[in-house]
């Protein structure tokens, strides 16, 4: 039966291979950083990287997102050389050992993105949506690969002071409209949008964003949602990131019902299960909901 929740015209051209997003997919997170909010220090050598990637792939990850720059609030700013020294070995290792796996580079720097793609990455995930590197859009256009535009204000170091909006949803959608128009003008064919949960947004704003997630379908682009173990979950529940898996699954389920196409997660199996179960109620719910 054709999905009634998820928009059907959602495909990505990844290295000549068409990826169908009419049913949601999962992006597994691989942070090769010492200071990420949840899994810092976990994946600093070849053995731990390969073990984690194997686990995520075996559980059904469609993408592996490699990041070498911690974007938690107040994270240390590192040089491009340091970022490259973290991500390049990991990307080369993954593409060699798991050649059929789609690797995404999580970076806001055009130089890092370019070298990562040359090493085997085939998707760019930019938390700044081009705002922190003026060369990013031109680089994406020259590489001709899919690009994830995330919404953020300021930098990882300043974003907690930037959570001020007159109309949260309208301002984010307007920002996406402008960037998509510019990217289309440069010849970028495949873009996804990520509303940026936790980036320059308070907990209350994050929940408002989730509640109105379906409004982003006006952009006619696949929606990536990154809620995994974020502070909006564990602070609301008065716990910690390690205990936030159940809360993550609850919010991912809501995001799926509202039409998310891609879940970016630390825990792949639980995300795949959420997708499988939500698919069972499609004929009941329908899309958009009444």
Which is the catalytic residue, given 10, 114, 179, 264?
Answer: 264
Q: What is the token pair recorded at 18?
A: 């068409």
Q: What is the token pair recorded at 262?
A: 């891609």
Q: Which CATH architecture has domain 11-285?
A: Alpha-Beta Barrel (3.20)
264 included as an active-site residue: yes
CB atoms within 10 A of CB 75: 17
Tokens 């169908």 appear where?
20
- Per the CB < 8 A criterion, the answer to whether 152 and 200 are in contact is yes
Between 28-37, 63-72, 88-97, 206-215, the lowest mean confidence (pLDDT) is in 28-37
Helix residue ranges per DSSP H, 144-244: 168-186, 203-211, 231-234
Task: Using DSSP bridges, classify how beta strands 224-225 and 102-106 pair: parallel, antiparallel or unpaired.
Answer: unpaired
Q: What's the mean pLDDT in 150-165?
A: 91
Look at residue 289 and tell me whether its pLDDT is greater than 90: no
Task: Using DSSP bridges, classify how beta strands 123-126 and 17-20 pair: parallel, antiparallel or unpaired.
Answer: unpaired
What's residue 45's pLDDT?
84
Which is the catalytic residue, given 10, 25, 86, 230?
Answer: 230
The domains of the chain are located at 11-285
Look at residue 7 and tell me whether its pLDDT is greater than 60: no
């Amino acid at each position: 039966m054709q999905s009634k929740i998820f928009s059907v015209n959602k495909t990505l051209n990844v290295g000549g291979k068409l990826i169908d997003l009419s049913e949601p997919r999962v992006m597994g997170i691989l942070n090769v950083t010492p200071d990420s909010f949840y899994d810092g220090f976990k994946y600093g050598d070849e053995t731990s990287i390969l073990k984690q990637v194997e686990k995520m792939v075996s559980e059904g990850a469609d993408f592996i997102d490699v990041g070498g720059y911690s974007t938690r609030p107040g994270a240390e700013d590192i040089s491009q050389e340091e970022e490259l020294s973290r991500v390049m070995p990991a990307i080369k290792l993954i593409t060699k050992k798991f050649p059929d796996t789609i690797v995404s580079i999580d970076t806001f720097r055009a130089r890092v993105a370019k070298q990562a793609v040359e090493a085997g990455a085939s998707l760019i995930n930019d938390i700044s949506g081009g705002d922190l590197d003026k060369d990013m859009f031109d680089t994406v256009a020259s590489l001709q690969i899919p690009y994830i535009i995330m919404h953020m204000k300021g930098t990882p170091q300043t974003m907690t002071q930037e959570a001020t909006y007159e109309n949260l949803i309208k301002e984010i959608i307007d920002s996406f409209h402008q960037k998509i128009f510019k990217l289309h003008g440069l010849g970028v064919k495949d873009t996804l949008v990520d509303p940026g949960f936790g980036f320059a947004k308070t907990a209350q704003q994050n929940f408002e964003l989730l509640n109105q997630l379906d409004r982003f379908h006006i952009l006619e682009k696949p929606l990536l949602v990154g809620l995994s173990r974020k502070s909006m979950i564990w602070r609301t529940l008065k716990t910690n990131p390690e205990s936030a898996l159940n809360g993550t699954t609850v919010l991912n389920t809501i995001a799926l019902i509202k039409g998310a196409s891609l879940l970016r997660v630390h825990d792949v199996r639980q995300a795949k299960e959420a997708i499988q179960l939500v698919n069972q109620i499609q004929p009941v719910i329908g899309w958009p909901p009444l």
